[in-house]
Structure formats: structure tokens, C-alpha cells
Amino acid sequence: MTDAEWTAVRPLLPVPAWLQGRGGQPEGYCHRQMLDAIRYLVAGGISWRAMPADFPGWDRVYAFFRRWREHGLINEFHDRLCGKVRESEGREAEPTAGIIDAQSVRAAATVPADSRGYDGGKKVPGRKTAHRDRPERWAMVVSGSWNSVLTE
């Protein structure tokens, strides 16, 4: 992560309790090191145990990631980053509209009949799923393209 990226990302991260005077023990590694390790892992598609020695130990990185995921901090960081991108484009941080979409999925013969149906419009036997889609709900960017998003 470049210094410019870190400058943009740092205020978006949650502040550890010990820095706010709420007790707790200081963490053993800098958040920047941990984020660099996670970005490397995702970008390379490697396993946790294949983490290079340049980063903190894989077990520490995984524990950090797991703790953030369990407390919803990964999603919170993602949403803050998306809000920052939207504001840099001159839009409000939160979208004012969403898209509701439905999808028909073919079901195998082994799927119980009580959970299957028939979509007459698409002429597809199977299950119908609905989901809400927000275009800004991007996957976390781990490549160099993060530069252009954060340094504008």
C-alpha cells in the first residue's frame, strides 16, 4: 500500500479501544501491515499458510481478519470506502435508489418438489430467487486500481 493510499484509508478504519482510553492491550502489528497482507493474499489467491515471511505470521493475519469479520468491521470499512468514492464523484455517500432483481435457477431432479416451481415467462423449472442490488456494493479492491479511487 502506498503512502497516499494509507493516508486515504487510515481515517476510514475503526479506532482500537486502547487508543480511545477504553482499556485493552495494544495490538502487536500495525493495521497497515495487516491490510497489506490481506490484500496480497486476495490478489494472489494464495492460502493463509502460504503467506510470505515479509508479512506478519499467517495465524496473526487470519486472527485479525476473522475478528474484523465477526464484528462486522470488514463491511463497515467497505461501506465507508464506497461512500468516499461516491462523494469524490460528487454524489451522496448513500445511494437514494436500489435495484431489485429476480433470477430463475434450474433445479436438479433431486431437489424436493415442494421447494421448486415453474417460471412461465422464462419457461424454466426450478427456484426463483430475489435480491437487492446496489451498484456501489463492490468487492474490496485489492489491485493497483485502488490508487485512482483513493488519491482523487
For the stretch 122-131, pLDDT in tens is 666 766 666 5
C-alpha cell at 15: 479506532
Cβ pair 51, 37 in contact under 8 A: yes
pLDDT above 70 coverage of the chain, percent? 66
Cβ pair 12, 84 in contact under 8 A: yes
The pLDDT of residue 145: 38
Q: Tell me how far apart the alpha carbons of residues 88 and 81 are, in angstroms, rounded to a whole number.
A: 11
Taking alpha carbons only, the member of 16, 51, 21, 19 closest to residue 36 is: 51
Please tell me whether residue 129 adopts helix, strand or coil conformation: strand
Residue in the structure block whose three cell numbers are 461516491: 86
Average pLDDT rounded to a whole number, residues 18-45: 84
How far is CA 45 from its chain centroid?
15
Average pLDDT rounded to a whole number, residues 17-39: 82
C-alpha cell at 9: 484509508
Give the count of beta carbons closer than 10 Å to the beta carbon of residue 90.
6
Cβ pair 63, 113 in contact under 8 A: no
Q: Is the pLDDT of residue 73 over 80?
A: yes
